Amino acid sequence: MTATTSALSGPDAAIIAASSGPGTVDRIAHITLSSVILPLATPISDAKVLTGRQKPMTEVAFLVVEIQTENGHEGVGFSYSKRAGGAGQFAHAKEIGDVLIGEDPSDIAKLWVKLSWAGASVGRSGLATQAIAAFDVALWDLKSKRAGLPLAKLIGSHRDSVRTYNTSGGFLHTPIEQVKENAAASLDAGIGAIKLKVGQPDWRTDVARVTAVREFLDPDVPLMVDANQQWDRATAMRMGRIFEEFNLVWIEEPLDAYDAEGHAELRRSLDTPIATGEMLASVAEHLHLIEVGAQDIVQPDAPRIGGITQFLKLTTIMESKQLELAPHFAMEIHVHLAAAYSIEPWVEHFDWLDPLFNESLETRDGRMWVSDRPGLGFTLSEQARAWTVATHEFGKRA
């Protein structure tokens, strides 16, 4: 016991003693996996549906991981899949999750590697990495809760709020008058910018819709478009030149997500910034695009690339290249990670996940605000429990 500690007595001495030395080591005692199916109120269509490559989206599958330690600390994390893959993520998590029992939850990077090696034969990207992500997010949530800090503060934030834009109101299945109403409602709700889906079979329909919304909005409202990978290189170049007059914040996914050279050529040829990256499933995949100069704005998705641990590795590299950040989906996670990025970022606003949690994020003045709640700042709702279709447990409850 130090001299300072010996001068104290009673509860104060007990608190200091409990927070120093070997007694601070905790162990993971229990893990619950849940497969949660979130139904969407309206089937969702983007350009991938209109080209016949995908069916309209009717639900989102979530892999939820809840971790409890011997000392009673808890963390919750999630990953997700759209249209297909949810059952596979859950199955892979069942196969690898037991390796965490008895481990110190503070050793997050070490545990990511351990989970990766537990399923090494299926690789380090795609479904396997996305299953690991749910554990990783839960560990970061637990660590920041134990510290009594929002995740952004634990990492080290640069700001308390982040620029935000709405996507969910501008899908291709939505009639243009409704798109305009949705845009107005988003701005009234404190969201600062609007993104529209493009990639219609008839390019003139895209131009007409973007024109209608641009004329409807105040000229100072930022506007983006997203082609969801459905243009070829020639079409992307033509559409990019047509859209130059709209002064867009970015053109998103104009080409196949893995066409690094095509994106780089667009970036060199157009004034409008190029954004892409949401479909990539590992840091290594992102690095290839960064190395060839494929984009101005990188759009990583923490659940898709392996969680917060991998996201932070990627953003360290991005900062060295002075690249902008606009994470995809999962605003409940990404608002914290964006707040911790040195260059002013954007966060995508989707209200689809709202029923899963008891808490919500605040938007005002065109920005999304980091809550002062510890961890991610969210607890699972009874509705999330009701939508749970399968569970699996490891270890024993503390």
Token digits of residue 223: 């506007």
**Catalytic residue, candidates 92, 143, 153, 197:** 197
Measured at the CA of 41, the angle between CA 37 and CA 45, to 5 degrees, comes to: 95
Q: Which of 46, 377, 76 is nearest to 201 (CA)?
A: 46
- The verdict on whether 286 is a catalytic residue reads no
**Catalytic residue, candidates 48, 143, 286, 328:** 328
354: enclosing H helix or E strand: none
Between CA 300 and CA 285 the distance in angstroms is 10
Q: Which of 313, 312, 314 is nearest to 333 (CA)?
A: 312
- The verdict on whether 334 is a catalytic residue reads no
Task: Tell me which residue has tokens 């499933």.
Answer: 281
C-alpha distances out from residue 353 to 43, 240, 248, Å:
15, 32, 27
Token digits of residue 180: 């305009």
Between CA 315 and CA 80 the distance in angstroms is 21
Between CA 139 and CA 107 the distance in angstroms is 9
359: enclosing H helix or E strand: none
Name beta bridge partners: 64.
Answer: 34, 78
Between CA 363 and CA 349 the distance in angstroms is 9
Kindly give, in sequence order, each residue whose CB lies less than 8 Å from that of residue 353, ignoring residues fewer than 6 positions away: 38, 330, 331, 332
Kindly give, in sequence order, each residue whose CB lies less than 8 Å from that of residue 268, ignoring residues fewer than 6 positions away: 293
Instruction: Report the catalytic residues.
Output: 197, 328
